[in-house]
Structure 1
Amino acid sequence: MKLARALLLVALIWAGGVAASEVGVTDRSILIGMTAPFSGPSGPYGLDMKTVINAYFRQLNDAGGVHGRRLDLRSLDDGYETERTVANTRTLIAQEQVFALLAFYGSSPTTAAMNEVFGVAKVPLVGTISGADSLRQSPRDHPANRYMFNVRASYADETEAIVNQLTSLGFKNIAVFYQNDGFGKSGLEGVLAALRKHNQVPVAVATVERNSVDVSSAVQTIARANPQAVIMVTLYKASAAFVREMRKARQNPQFMTLSPVGADLLVQELADEARGIGISQVMPYPWNDTLPMVREYHKLLGKQAKPSYYGIEAYAMAKVLVEALRKAGKEPTREKLVAALESMQNHDLGGYRVSFSPTDRAGSRFVDLTVIGSGGRVLR
């Protein structure tokens, strides 16, 4: 009798998925972890991403999930702070026991989390809002990078496109305003490298701290150089403060900035003052549904929500993860997921392609240049 009860208990445990072959996977679900800013100056970015991912997972789950398993998202707020991101990543892996990670945010936070936590734990991360080179090194040289799968172009790709555009228009006096962290420094390095190709150097360089809008010193430094253009490697709050103060100082250069700024949030912050600011983008134009991926994104949002570059990037990240999970098969493991991702070479998400291999984690080199027009509309 005792033996029969023991066998029954084992059978029930197995049926309930407790004895599944991989952490975070049961017979009914797969648990995915996310850490991003949901509060603070960068909170709107993370909230937009989380909303889109949750909506996509609901849509997917309603249609039967992936190989019969539903996807559940466990998300934690890091406020765009490196230490919190690292701590959250540890919590997601060790306590929440997620199967994989999705949609992180920021160069310094993601690089630290990769080197200290998920790269060591061998838990793959699909997508982060960062173009830093530190996240794109070959896994052969940097083993932790084996578990980092980028879905966007690098800051070097973005800054090269911006510099090429400015120099083609005859600009020779170009300044740089950057955020003093991994994001800003990576962007600065990209600008310097691109300018060298045109035998130029910045006429001025100034910085602002992360999550700060204290731009007075930067404005003084750059205004003294009277630049024709300023490339801003900053987020929307600092960018808006800088543009306002430069114009108060009677400086009206061509302002350019990178994709992480968030075009809609910059417009919201600056209103009519945003007109004329150029922005490099690493995702397809989210307001034109000519591409299949954009049409899917619009359908997912419905009529009430507003499309955004952050939203469509979150959708692209989630699609990459889901398609890799399908490739990983009915009994997924983290190593099978890594192998599935590495097999996605020149993979079409619906008009937007990503590519990985055992030695390549770049994901994409797609860059599009846009400008803010009248009424805050983003124009290509």
Structure 2
Amino acid sequence: MRFNKILALSSLLLAAVTAQAETGVTANTITLGQSAAFSGPAKELGKGMHDGAQAYFDQVNASGGVYGRKIILKTLDDGYEPERAAANTKQFIEQDEVLALFGYVGTPTSNASIPAVSKAKLPFFAPFTGAQSLREPFNRNIFNIRASYFAETEKIVQQITTLSLKRIAVFYQNDAYGKAGLEGVTRALKKRGIEVAGLGTVERNSVDVSDAVAKIRASKPQTVIMVSAYNSSAAFIKAMIAAGSPPSFWNISFVGSQQLVTALGKDASGVQIAQVMPAPWDETHAIVKEYRKYYLQDGKKQWDYVSMEGFIAAKVFVEGLRRAGSNLSRDSLIRALETISHYDAGGYFITFNPSSHNGSEFVDLTMVAKSGRFLH
């Protein structure tokens, strides 16, 4: 009898030690890592993703956390540079020992981090990118909650060609992100027997668009599809308008919609942008009401698509934590996330399964009105 009691007590102690030893998990905390641009020309994207997520996590923590554990989101600035993102990822994994990586911003930065993610086998959740490299080939560690750039560019090209516009140029960032978007555009055009009319590039974290403007103007496009961040995109649009007889302009979601409008000022009127999240002012969606309520409570004053995405990402992630149960680990979290099927986050639906971690294909098209508001 005494031996059985000792054996039972030993088993309980072993279980407790094992639970405490799980990476990124203690009896009271769950630690995540986020590398994003918090400085430089793309800093508002990193700030938006972080602030939206933090607003949701703060509410969860105020209500007692998940199984009594508070969520801690650690951040490191990568300035939207892949080498810094890779170093940050190494620190999160080897020094901070986080449970998961969350809300990375950008294609080149995410791509640079994936080798370490795959080696450590930790979840890489909700990167702010629609690149195929984060979708194909399938990687068990990566979970996407936004539509792909292929889906965005397909919908943009579909709309443009409906308007009988066939001279379509592409302005893109000269890196993995820009090339991913360009691939989506050329793929969609090829389906319709159309070739790209002209190409112009800009370097990452640069606003030197003079060469791109000259090349694209020479192609005499009716419209330009843009695959860059908000500062370089604004510089390009302003330069094209100043040169006279500008075409129409389309952007994919990564641009940072509100940030682009702010940078453009009066020149924003008529600019069109694909969106992969619900409009943050459309309270017909329950998730938008929830976001606006908690975001204001967190001291923020301006709603936008980027923080909306961070908020939704946090909500879906917390659903995964709850499904994983109190015995939380990297592997149990991955398995729990894979059970999320037709999950209604409040009018925005997510589906994962063991063979696909691409949670949504939702794409909306918006246009900026003279007032600066988004029409959709």
TM range (shorter): over 0.9
| Residue aligning to 2:135 | 136
SS of 1:363's equivalent in the other structure is: coil
Distance, in Å, in 2 between the alignment partners of 1:378 and 1:355 is 28
| Residue aligning to 1:299 | 293
| Residue aligning to 1:187 | 181
| Residue aligning to 2:241 | 247
For the 8 Å contact 2:272–2:368, the answer to whether it is kept is: yes
For the 8 Å contact 2:224–2:250, the answer to whether it is kept is: yes
Distance, in Å, in 2 between the alignment partners of 1:292 and 1:247 is 39
For the 8 Å contact 2:19–2:327, the answer to whether it is kept is: no
SS of 2:20's equivalent in the other structure is: coil
| Residue aligning to 1:355 | 351
1:200 aligns with 2:194: yes
1:257 aligns with 2:251: yes
Q: How many residues align?
A: 364
1:22 aligns with 2:22: yes
Letter in 1 for 2:218: R
> Displacement, 1:15?
12
> Displacement, 1:247?
1.5
For the 8 Å contact 1:46–1:105, the answer to whether it is kept is: yes
1:368 maps to which of 364, 369, 372: 364
SS of 1:207's equivalent in the other structure is: strand
For the 8 Å contact 2:102–2:126, the answer to whether it is kept is: yes
For the 8 Å contact 2:54–2:311, the answer to whether it is kept is: no
1:167 aligns with 2:161: yes
For the 8 Å contact 2:165–2:223, the answer to whether it is kept is: yes
1:125 aligns with 2:121: no
Distance, in Å, in 2 between the alignment partners of 1:156 and 1:17 is 46
Distance, in Å, in 1 between the alignment partners of 2:357 and 2:18 is 33
The structure-2 alpha-carbon separation of the partners of 1:47 and 1:14, relative to structure 1 and needing over 3 Å to count, comes to: farther
> Displacement, 1:372?
0.5
| Residue aligning to 2:3 | none
SS of 2:127's equivalent in the other structure is: strand
SS of 2:205's equivalent in the other structure is: coil
Distance, in Å, in 1 between the alignment partners of 2:163 and 2:85 is 41
SS of 1:75's equivalent in the other structure is: strand
| Residue aligning to 2:214 | 220
Q: Deviations over 1:242-297 (max 9, x none)?
A: 11111222131010000011111111111010100000000001111111111110
For the 8 Å contact 1:345–1:355, the answer to whether it is kept is: yes
Distance, in Å, in 1 between the alignment partners of 2:250 and 2:126 is 24
Distance, in Å, in 1 between the alignment partners of 2:339 and 2:73 is 25
SS of 1:302's equivalent in the other structure is: helix
For the 8 Å contact 2:169–2:199, the answer to whether it is kept is: yes
> Displacement, 1:112?
1.7
Letter in 1 for 2:364: D
For the 8 Å contact 1:23–1:97, the answer to whether it is kept is: yes
| Residue aligning to 2:323 | 327
Matches within 5 A, 1:272-351: 272-302=266-296, 305-351=301-347
SS of 1:31's equivalent in the other structure is: strand
> Displacement, 1:19?
6.1
The structure-2 alpha-carbon separation of the partners of 1:122 and 1:231, relative to structure 1 and needing over 3 Å to count, comes to: same
Letter in 1 for 2:178: G
1:230 maps to which of 224, 227, 231: 224
Q: Deviations over 1:174-201 (max 9, x none)?
A: 1001001111100000000100111101
Matches within 5 A, 1:59-208: 59-114=59-114, 116-139=115-138, 145-208=139-202
For the 8 Å contact 1:89–1:117, the answer to whether it is kept is: yes
For the 8 Å contact 2:53–2:312, the answer to whether it is kept is: no
Letter in 1 for 2:134: L
| Residue aligning to 2:262 | 268
Q: Deviations over 1:327-374 (max 9, x none)?
A: 001111111101111111222111101111111122110000000001
Moved over 3 A (4+): 13-19
Distance, in Å, in 2 between the alignment partners of 1:14 and 1:36 is 38
Distance, in Å, in 1 between the alignment partners of 2:53 and 2:72 is 10
Distance, in Å, in 2 between the alignment partners of 1:327 and 1:217 is 52
> Displacement, 1:378?
1.2
Percent pairwise identity: 46
- What is the TM-score normalised by the length of structure 1? 0.92
1:40 aligns with 2:49: no
Distance, in Å, in 1 between the alignment partners of 2:118 and 2:32 is 16
For the 8 Å contact 1:17–1:28, the answer to whether it is kept is: no
| Residue aligning to 1:58 | 58
SS of 2:171's equivalent in the other structure is: strand
Letter in 1 for 2:118: G
Distance, in Å, in 1 between the alignment partners of 2:121 and 2:201 is 35
For the 8 Å contact 2:51–2:310, the answer to whether it is kept is: no
Distance, in Å, in 2 between the alignment partners of 1:235 and 1:28 is 38
Q: Which moved further from structure 2: 321-330 or 46-55?
A: 46-55
SS of 2:366's equivalent in the other structure is: strand
SS of 1:185's equivalent in the other structure is: helix
> Displacement, 1:18?
8.9
Distance, in Å, in 2 between the alignment partners of 1:292 and 1:226 is 44
